[in-house]
Structure 1
Amino acid sequence: MRLPRICEREGAVDGDPQPAVAEQGAEASLRDVARRAGVGLGTLYRHVPTREALLEALLRRSFDALTERAADLEASGSPDGALLSWLREAVAVARHYSGVIAAMVAAIAAEESALHASCVTMRAAGTRLLRRAQEKGLARADIDGTDLFGVLGALAWIGDQPSLASRADHLFDVIAQAILTPPAGGDAGEDRHA
């Protein structure tokens, strides 16, 4: 049994039974993860000795895809639209695994964390899109990549809250308007969607 099979089972979304981590969140029982992946608990621990290592393995592919997506968006599209498209996709990835945002935020500051490199790379990708929008005067100049990562975390957290989940898209739009600057001669309340 190799780690990719475990991660493929856990990362599956369409057509497969709901993976344990996606269904139960970042605190899913590792015994349940192993059972659903069709391996013994000992096998799981040989490949992923900690919950954080499992999360890193599960999230690495998504974070790599977000990094590639940022590069694609950087090369095409409007800077503000690119930034908001990437942010919306990053929030969706974080929300796919309920409760993972706390581990992601902690990993940024902890270089020894299994998630650290993946989170730093993802944050850097978003930061490049933010800077591009700022250089064109389309995003607030007083925020940086750390702030953007914080916004991503807050928006993902909102989606994890049953009482707020139905408002997540609306609140995303509110926050997006706070990140962007109005176009020259435009109205601050003007509708601007990615």
Structure 2
Amino acid sequence: MTLAEMLEGLRPRRLDARRNFDAVLAAAADAFGESGADVGMEDIARRAGVGVATLYRNFPTRVALMEAVYLAAVDELVSFGSGSDDADSWTALRRWLEKFGDFMRTKHPVVSVLTEQSEVYAPARDAIYGIAVPLFDHAREDGQIRAGVVADDVMRVIFAVTGGLYRDTAQRGRALQIVLDGIRTPGPV
């Protein structure tokens, strides 16, 4: 089952209920990204323009809401990586890693709460690596990244880099650029 299918299985059938579900999901993603994992459920409902009862009808627990937010974000990340076939191998990998860095920065509070026992953890991880590994392999085969550089190592470094506190987004971008420069095959001197 794909992540999109898992998320679709959570969505209500009625059109108005689906709109509320999607509104809560979007509001929760923004709230968790801005305020962390402890943001109040009432605040999320207010942001979504729904009542707290509607939020809890769709997401009976904070963890259920976080899992849905994570599923939606990972599905978007995987779809982005799937659509990078038109770029050269380095550009495709770089764009995806930048998207992954942004994903980790905004989803870090959610990821820090979910554990391996979560129903979405393994399928989401598998989907991410299912996109990342071929991007890395293709770039390595093309001589665009250093031999021995593997997806898991780089993704863990990006997780660490994006979890830090920065003065501004430019500084965060420079930190990510250091990682990208470090994996790239050196050009002619």
Question: What TM-score do the two structures reach when normalised by structure 1?
Answer: 0.73
Structure 2 counterpart SS, 1:99: helix
Structure 1 counterpart SS, 2:83: helix
Partner of 1:192: none
Partner of 2:112: 102
What is the CA deviation profile of residues 90-114 of structure 1, one whole-angstrom value per residue up to 9, with x for unaligned ones? 11122234533434xx64xx15343
What is the CA deviation profile of residues 60-117 of structure 1, one whole-angstrom value per residue up to 9, with x for unaligned ones? 23322221221221x22221121111000111122234533434xx64xx15343432
- Counterparts of 1:46 and 1:167, CA distance in 2: 41
Partner of 2:102: 92
User: Deviation of residue 176 (structure 1)?
Assistant: 0.5
- Counterparts of 2:148 and 2:106, CA distance in 1: 30
User: Could you tell me which of 146, 157, 160 is aligned with 1:154?
Assistant: 160
In structure 2, relative to structure 1, the CA distance for the partners of 1:168 and 1:148 (3 Å cut) is: same
Partner of 2:23: 5
Partner of 2:6: none
In structure 2, relative to structure 1, the CA distance for the partners of 1:30 and 1:115 (3 Å cut) is: farther
What is the CA deviation profile of residues 14-59 of structure 1, one whole-angstrom value per residue up to 9, with x for unaligned ones? xxxxx42232123312232123223343432332233332223223
- Counterparts of 1:124 and 1:144, CA distance in 2: 13
Q: Between the two proteins, what is the percent identity of the paired residues? A: 26
Question: Which moves more between the two structures, 110-119 or 135-144?
Answer: 110-119
Aligned residues: 171
- Counterparts of 2:98 and 2:173, CA distance in 1: 9
In structure 2, relative to structure 1, the CA distance for the partners of 1:141 and 1:52 (3 Å cut) is: farther
User: Could you tell me which of 167, 170, 183 is aligned with 1:179?
Assistant: 183
Q: CA RMSD in A?
A: 2.5
The 5 A counterparts of 1:8-157 are: 8-11=26-29, 19-73=30-84, 75-97=85-107, 99-103=109-113, 107=115, 110-157=116-163
Unpaired stretches in structure 1, ≥5 consecutive residues: 12-18, 188-194
Give runs of ≥4 in structure 1 deviating > 6 Å.
none
User: Deviation of residue 132 (structure 1)?
Assistant: 0.9
Unpaired stretches in structure 2, ≥5 consecutive residues: 1-16
Amino acid at match of 2:105: R
Please say if residues 101 and 176 of structure 2, whose CA atoms lie closer than 8 Å, have aligned partners that are also in contact.
no
